[in-house]
């Protein structure tokens, strides 16, 4: 990946913070729903899948923010 400028890095950091917040919110929702006996299991499965997708995206963005080192 080509080196990014500071403005691009700042946009990535903002996006990263938004995704982390969404991931935390999903964690809270899932924790509450797990204890609900009347929960739709399909809905819960979809929420967990979304949370995993967010986690993967967060890790990818964090990796993109690490500068490449010449070997």
Structure confidence by residue, pLDDT tens digits, 15-25: 999 999 999 99
Give residue limits of the domains in the chain: 6-65
**pTM to 2 decimals?**
0.81
> Is there a contact between 33 and 39 (Cβ–Cβ < 8 Å)?
yes
Q: Does 70 score more than 80 pLDDT?
A: no
Distance of CA 37 to the CA centre of its chain: 27
Residue 50 burial (C-beta neighbours within 10 Å; 0-12, 13-18, 19+): middle
Determine the pLDDT at residue 60.
Answer: 94
């Amino acid at each position: 990946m080509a080196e990014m400028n500071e403005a691009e890095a700042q946009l990535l950091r903002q996006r990263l913070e938004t995704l982390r917040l969404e991931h935390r919110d999903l964690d809270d929702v899932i924790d509450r729903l797990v204890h609900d006996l009347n929960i739709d299991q399909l809905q819960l499965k979809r929420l967990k899948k979304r949370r995993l997708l967010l986690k993967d995206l967060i890790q990818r963005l964090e990796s993109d923010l690490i500068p490449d080192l010449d070997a």
